[in-house]
Structure 1
Amino acid sequence: MSKDNIYASQQAVKDFTFDERVVEVFPDMIQRSVPGYATIVSTMGKLAGQYAQNNSNLYDLGSSLGAVTLSMRRNIDKQNCQIIAVDNSAAMVERCKLHLEGFRSDVPVTVELADINEIEINNASVVALNFTLQFIPQPQRFALLEKVYQGLKPGGVLLLSEKVKGENTLVDDLLIDLHHDFKRANGYSELEISQKRSAIENVMRPETLNAHFERLSDIGFQHTQVWYQCFNFCSMIAIK
């Protein structure tokens, strides 16, 4: 696993993209940046196994290197299921395919290079968006989640992980400070923290938990629940 040192030197910071540089260090980056990431991924797989239905599709939208896809595949024991992993980064898709080749399973997986706003969601029992929605422009989020809802079978679930904002400035500043302390404890320098924050602020737009729950309710999800939160990172389940 290559170490993430993308922002270790002083540089003219550009907007963050999931390019070849990020692909090379992504496992290290995500583990050192997102508290509880391994727990989130493994639990999403267990939830997928619990809610998967026979003769249905499972989607991993914004699949990156396929961690959630692999976790879902390990836990599915229903008949005639398939996983569809989608990402808009060519570099991520190619590496994801390589990772999947290293794990044998009876559950077929299709990895697609596509914009998740443009694909169809059909006959789905599980849809995962693991730290993906936050990179979608806010005006497009309702339509995307509404499409997910319409594509879910009765009893199907949306598994949604997001970086969230505090409900007020005081709480938001606290969550940010705690997250930065987490990154310092994992070896990131002040320069790296500052430059990464500058790179990502124009491409990732977090929302409050209330904003997420209100949107999911407006779309039609009847049951929503947070099952994990550490600092400003949160995982939710929404049941149709």
Structure 2
Amino acid sequence: MQKDHIYAEPLAHIQDFRFDDQVADVFPDMIQRSVPGYQSIIQTIGQLAERYQQTNSHYYDLGCSLGAASLAMRRHISASGSKIIAVDNSAAMVQRCQRHLSAFRSEVPVEVLEADICELPLENAAMVVINFTLQFLAKPQRNDLIERVYQALKPGGLLVLSEKIVSENVQSNDLLIELHHNFKRANGYSELEISQKRTALEKVMQPDSIAEHQVRLQQAGFAESTLWFQCFNFCSMVAFKS
């Protein structure tokens, strides 16, 4: 696993963050050192896939990056006629995702697509995972995607939504940011790396509050949603289609 040193040296011009080859090469290290609880979320996605699997169904991993969630689902799905569809708009991520998934044998087929999740047709879904992806979409696109996910889910289907969040209270938000930065410091990131990456993400990642997510889910048709994980300003929710 290559170490993430992308922002270790002073940059004269900090470009907007992109999921390019440079990021894809270090992504496992980057996300483990940047997102508290990431491995627990991935492991739980596998458990949820086992519990909510249905025969002859699709399992979507929207914004799949290197396919960690797809692999977790694949390890736990046993229902006949199952198919995982992993989607990302980054060619670099898709190429590496295909290699990672092909390295593990399984009877559950996985289709890896380079596509825009905002335009991808969704259907016949037992489970949809949107893992730290919605926050990179333009805000007007978020409602539409969640609505389409709801329509694509079969009765009894499940949405897993993991996101970085903002607190509606300024003091609380500042505290969560500081705790997250402490987490990154403890994982070896320097002040320069933390600062430069934050600048790179400012225009491309705009997190919502938990309340905003809950309202969006309810408006899309989900009668029930549950916040099952939160550490600092990162969370994961599940929403059920009855």
Q: Secondary structure at the match of 1:221?
A: coil
Separation of aligned partners in 2, 1:133 and 1:146: 13
2:46 corresponding residue in structure 1: 45
Q: Secondary structure at the match of 1:175?
A: helix
CA offset digits 1:11-42 (Å, max 9, x no partner): 01100000000000000000000001110001
1:62 corresponding residue in structure 2: 63
Separation of aligned partners in 2, 1:101 and 1:156: 27
Aligned residues between the structures = 240
Separation of aligned partners in 1, 2:234 and 2:66: 20
Deviation, 1:223, is 1.2
Deviation, 1:187, is 0.2
CA offset digits 1:153-183 (Å, max 9, x no partner): 0110100000000121111101000000000
Separation of aligned partners in 1, 2:52 and 2:83: 14
Q: Following superposition of structure 1 onto structure 2, how do residues 1-240 of structure 1 map, counting pairs within 5 Å?
A: 1-11=1-11, 12-240=13-241
Q: Secondary structure at the match of 2:165?
A: strand
Separation of aligned partners in 1, 2:239 and 2:100: 29
User: Could you tell me which amino acid in structure 2 is paired with residue 159 of structure 1?
Assistant: V
Q: Secondary structure at the match of 1:9?
A: coil
Separation of aligned partners in 2, 1:234 and 1:137: 20
Gaps of 5+ in 2: none
CA offset digits 1:192-230 (Å, max 9, x no partner): 000000000100000100000011011110110011110
Deviation, 1:81, is 0.3
Gaps of 5+ in 1: none
Deviation, 1:146, is 0.3
User: Could you tell me which amino acid in structure 1 is paired with residue 150 of structure 2?
Assistant: Y
Deviation, 1:136, is 0.6
RMSD: 0.5
User: Could you tell me which amino acid in structure 2 is paired with residue 148 of structure 1?
Assistant: V
Q: Secondary structure at the match of 1:94?
A: helix
Sequence identity percentage: 60
Q: Secondary structure at the match of 1:17?
A: coil
Separation of aligned partners in 2, 1:55 and 1:16: 38
TM-score (norm 1): 0.99
| Runs of 4+ deviating beyond 6 Å | none
Separation of aligned partners in 2, 1:52 and 1:163: 27
